[in-house]
Amino acid sequence: MDSDLKLPATAHVVLGLVSICPGGGHELALFSEQSIGNFFPIARSQVYSELERLCGLGLLAATEVRQKRWPTKRVYEVTAAGEAELARWLEEGPVAPVRNRNLFLVRVFFGDRVSPERLDALLDEYERGARAHRDTLAALVERLADRPQAAFPRATALYGMRHAQATLEWVADVRSIVRETRAALSEPGRPAAGGR
Residue 156 pLDDT > 90, yes or no? yes
Strand 73-78's sheet: what is its strand order? 23-24, 73-78, 60-65
Contact 14, 82 (CB under 8 A): no
Please report the pLDDT score of residue 3 as a whole number: 55
pTM: 0.77
DSSP for 53-83 reads HHHHTTSEEEEEE--SSS--EEEEEE-HHHH
Residue 4 pLDDT > 80, yes or no? no
From residue 139, how far is each of 23, 39, 157 by CA, in Å? 27, 17, 9
Q: 187: which DSSP letter?
A: S
- Count of other CB atoms within 10 angstroms of residue 175: 15
Please report the pLDDT score of residue 189 as a whole number: 64
Give the torsion through C-alpha atoms of 162, 167, 170, 175, to 10 deg: -140
Maximum C-alpha span of the chain: 78
Please report the pLDDT score of residue 194 as a whole number: 52
- Spatial neighbors of 141 by CB under 8 A, at least 6 apart, are 154, 157, 158, 161
Rounded CA separation 88/194 (Å): 51
**Strand, helix or coil for residue 52:** helix
Rounded CA separation 124/59 (Å): 47
Mean pLDDT of the chain: 89
Please report the pLDDT score of residue 185 as a whole number: 80
Share of the chain above pLDDT 70, in %: 93
Q: Crossing angle of helices 80-92/9-20, nearest 10°?
A: 120
Q: Find the distance separating the first CA and the last CA of the chain, reported in whole Å.
A: 61
Confidence class for position 196, pLDDT limits 50, 70, 90: very low
